[in-house]
Structure 1
Amino acid sequence: MLTLHYLSDSRAHRIAWMLEELELEYTMKVHRRRPSGLAPRELERLHFLGKAPLLEDGDLVLAESAHIVEHLLDTRAPQLRPDPASAPEQARSHRYWLHFAEASFAPPLIMKHLFDKVRERTPSLLRPVTGIVPSMLGKAYLDDTLAKHAAFVDSHLRDREFFVGDAPSGADFMMIFPCEAAAARYGGRYSALLDYVRRVHARPAYKRARKRAGVPYMYD
C-alpha cells in the first residue's frame, strides 16, 4: 500500500497528481504547516529532514520529488517513461526536463518567493534596509535568470501539449510545480507556459488530487 504524506502549500501536490493520473490506490495523510511556515515536527518521525512529500511504499520511505517520481515510474508506470531503445530523443528529453525542474528552474523561483515573504513580514520602517540585499541580488541575478528560464520553457511548450509525448510523463509531474510558480509570477507574459498550467489544472486527475487534499495550495 502506498501512503503519501502531503504537506499544505508544497511540492507534494505533484505526487498526488501523479498518483491520481495512474489511478493507483493510496492513502493520503495531510499535514499542515506551522505558523512559521515550516513543516510540522511529526514528519521528522518518518524522515530525518522532516520535509514533504514523503511516500511510503511498504517498508520504504521515499523523500525528494524526483526520487519518488522515478520510483513510481520504475515500479508502477514504466509506460510513462520513453524507451531509450525505440525513442532515444524522447528519452533524453524526458530525463532532461525531469531534472531541469529542481536543478535549474525551481531554485531561483523559490529564492524570489522567500525574498517576497521576508519583505511582507518585515515592519514597514525596516523594509528599506532589509530590502537592499534582495533587491541587489534580484537585479544582478534572479530577475534575468527567471526570465530566461521562463522563456526557455515557454518556447518548448509552444507546439506541445505536454513536455514529452502526447500524455503526462514523469517530466510533467516534475515540471508542473515550477511552471505554476512562474505562471503565478508572470501571468500572461509567457502564454504557452500559462496555457500549459491551465491544461494541467483542468485535468480530472489534477482536480481529484486537489479535492482529496482539501487544504490550501498556493497555486490554485
Structure 2
Amino acid sequence: MITIYHLAASQSERVIWLMEELELPYRLERFEREADGSAPPAYRALHPFGTAPIIRDGDQVMAESAAIVEYISRVHGGGRLSVGPDEPGYADYLQGMQLSDAIQTALFVRMAYAGGAGENSDEASEPVIVRACRRREDGYFRYLEERLSAQPYAAGERFSCADIMVLHNLTVLPHFGGRAIEDLPNTQAYVARVRERPAYQRAAAIAAGSEAPAG
C-alpha cells in the first residue's frame, strides 16, 4: 500500500487527489509545518529532496509531483489517468505535466527579486531575468487559456494527471503572488469544472484533516 507523507498546505494534496480519483487504498502520515513555514526535520529526512510531496511504495521512496503522479497512474492505476503517445492529446498531456514547474519557476524568480529589490520598482529597471520570467509567465497562461477555449481539460476531452498538475497553480499560487486568472474566462470555467469532481472535494477535505481516507 502506498504511504503519502502529507505536509500541511503543500503540493502533496495532488497525490491525495490522484488516489481518490483512482479509488486506490493508501496510508496518510501528516506533518505540520514549522513556525517559519518550513517542513519539519522529520519530513526533510524522508527524502534527499526534502520537498512535498513524498510517497513510499514498498522500498521505493519518491519525491516530485509529476514523477509521483505519473508513476502511480501507470503502476497502480493501469494508466487510466495518463495519456499515451498513441492517444489524442498526448502532446497537450506532456505540456500540462510540465507546465506546473514552469509556472512555479517564473514565480520563484519574481519572488526572489521582490525580496531583494522590492515590488515597487518599475518594470523598466527590473533585471533582464525578471522581465524574461514575466514574459514566460504570461505565455504559459496565454497557452492555457487558448487550449481551454477548444477543449474541456488540459490534455483534451478527458480528465487526466495533467489536470491534477495544473490546478494547483491556478488555485493556490495566486495567494503567494502568483498570477491571478480573473481575466481568463476559459481558465476560470475550467477551475470551476474540475473543482466539482467528487474526488477533488474528498481530497480537499482529507488534506485539511476534516475527513479520513477510506482505505
Q: Which category of TM-score, normalised to the shorter sequence, fits these structures? A: 0.7 to 0.9
Alignment of 1:82 with 2:76, yes or no, is no
Asked if structure 2 preserves the Cα contact closer than 8 Å seen for 1:150 and 1:182, the reply is: no
Asked if structure 1 preserves the Cα contact closer than 8 Å seen for 2:54 and 2:61, the reply is: yes
Alpha-carbon distance in structure 2 between the residues aligned to 1:178 and 1:4: 21
SS of corresponding position for 1:79 = coil
Q: What are the within-5 Å matches in structure 2 for residues 136-151 of structure 1?
A: 136-137=126-127, 140-151=131-142
Q: What are the within-5 Å matches in structure 2 for residues 4-83 of structure 1?
A: 4-77=4-77, 78-83=79-84
Letter in 2 for 1:98: M
Asked if structure 1 preserves the Cα contact closer than 8 Å seen for 2:110 and 2:130, the reply is: no
Asked if structure 2 preserves the Cα contact closer than 8 Å seen for 1:109 and 1:178, the reply is: no
Q: What are the within-5 Å matches in structure 2 for residues 163-182 of structure 1?
A: 163-181=154-172
SS of corresponding position for 2:205 = helix
For structure 1, list consecutive stretches of 5 or more residues without a partner in the other structure: 120-128
CA deviations on 1:8-63 (whole Å, 9 max, x unpaired) are 22211111111111111111112222121211111133112322100111111111
Alpha-carbon distance in structure 2 between the residues aligned to 1:166 and 1:183: 26
- CA distance 1:179–1:131, change in 2 (3 Å): closer
Asked if structure 2 preserves the Cα contact closer than 8 Å seen for 1:3 and 1:55, the reply is: yes
CA RMSD of aligned residues (A): 2.7
CA deviations on 1:184-213 (whole Å, 9 max, x unpaired) are 642421111122112222211111111112
Which residue does 2:194 correspond to in 1? 200
Which residue does 2:213 correspond to in 1? none
Asked if structure 1 preserves the Cα contact closer than 8 Å seen for 2:99 and 2:140, the reply is: no
For structure 2, list consecutive stretches of 5 or more residues without a partner in the other structure: 211-215
Alpha-carbon distance in structure 1 between the residues aligned to 2:33 and 2:70: 26
Letter in 2 for 1:108: A
Letter in 2 for 1:107: T
Asked if structure 2 preserves the Cα contact closer than 8 Å seen for 1:42 and 1:50, the reply is: no
Alpha-carbon distance in structure 2 between the residues aligned to 1:162 and 1:183: 21
Q: What are the within-5 Å matches in structure 2 for residues 93-104 of structure 1?
A: 93-102=92-101, 104=102
Alpha-carbon distance in structure 2 between the residues aligned to 1:134 and 1:170: 38
TM-score (norm 1): 0.80
Identity within the alignment, %: 26
Alpha-carbon distance in structure 1 between the residues aligned to 2:107 and 2:39: 19
CA deviations on 1:122-154 (whole Å, 9 max, x unpaired) are xxxxxxx64577962497234333222211111
1 or 2, which has the higher helix percentage?
Answer: 1
TM-score (norm 2): 0.81
- CA distance 1:131–1:80, change in 2 (3 Å): closer
Count of residues in Structure 1 that have an aligned counterpart in Structure 2: 203
